[in-house]
Amino acid sequence: MSETHSTPSVHNFDREDAAPADPTIVAKLQQAANLANENCDRATALAQKLSAQLREARSRINQLELEADGLADRMRAEAEAAVAKLQSDANVRVERAKREADARIARVEAEAESRVRHLQAELTQAQQLTDRAKADAQIARERIARAETEANERLRRAWAEIEDRFIRLNADLAQAELRADRAEQWLVLIRREIEDHLMPSFAAMHDRPIVAGSGLSRTVPFASEPSSFAVASDVASENEPDHKSSL
């Protein structure tokens, strides 16, 4: 566009050369035209340079776009591969964790079931022991009740026997006291008989000589009245049945 404008100006200057003009103006115009041409040349060169740089920049942009697309594709592929690997690793870890969790759960369930069975067995055994202890306690209570009943019966019998014996002993004591009184009375009688009859007889026997034969019956007065020895034998014969009955 600068060349098209500069060319008519040159032609105008040629037309004006035909007319008389000031040389100074013409020189200035020529200098201006030359400067304009130089500016036009510089602008053209600059435009060409900028156009070449623009083409190079566009080529570089296209190349960079291609590289960016390739890099993006590569990064996308790498990211997809990384994501796939991570997903695979995660799936493997999840599966392994799931298997481990299932194994632990199964082991815990097995241990819990074994523990429950063991506790149930212990509970059953404890229940059996409790039932046995209750049965033993019931038997012991029955034995204790029976023993108490027997002991009470024996105690009652013993008390009855003791009371009976006590009554019999009291009766025996009363009878013995009565016999003692009777015996004491008989002893008094015997002592009196001895003092009244036997002592004088023994004194008379010491004073007179004893005659053999029929004279003996006249000096000893045993046939005419009861002697103290006969009375003592009668008391002994009375006491003997009572003594046997008390035994």
Q: With 80 as the cut, is the pLDDT of residue 24 above it?
A: yes
Average pLDDT estimate for 177-194: 85
* Cβ burial, residue 193 (10 Å; 0-12/13-18/19+): buried
Nearest Cα residue to 228 out of 180, 196, 181, 182: 196
Per-residue pLDDT tens digits for 69-82: 888 888 888 888 88
Residue 111 has pLDDT above 70, yes or no: yes
Provide CB contacts within 8 A for 18, sequence distance 6+: none
Please state, rounded to an integer, the average pLDDT across all residues of the chain: 76
pLDDT band at 207 (very low <50, low <70, confident <90, very high): low
pLDDT digits over 27-63, tens only? 888 999 999 998 999 899 988 988 888 888 888 888 8
Proportion of the chain above pLDDT 70, given as a percent: 74
Would you call 227 helix, strand, or coil by DSSP? coil
> What's the whole-model pTM score?
0.33
The DSSP line for 165-223 is HHHHHHHHHHHHHHHHHHHHHHHHHHHHHIIIIIHHHHHHHHHSPPPSTTHHHHH-TTT
Indicate the DSSP class of residue 226. Answer: -
pLDDT of residue 191: 82
Supply the pLDDT for residue 20: 52
Q: Whole-angstrom Cα distance, residue 184 to residue 192?
A: 12
Q: What is the mean pLDDT of residues 5-32?
A: 63
Least confident among 52-56, 136-140, 209-213, 214-218: 214-218
Query: Which residue is associated with the tokens 């009565």?
Result: 178
pLDDT digits (tens, 9 = 90+) for 147-166: 888 888 888 888 888 888 88
pLDDT of residue 110: 92
Confidence of residue 146 (pLDDT cuts 50, 70, 90): confident
pLDDT of 214 strictly over 80: no
CA distances from 34 to 17, 126, 223 (A): 17, 127, 225
Containing H/E element for 20? none
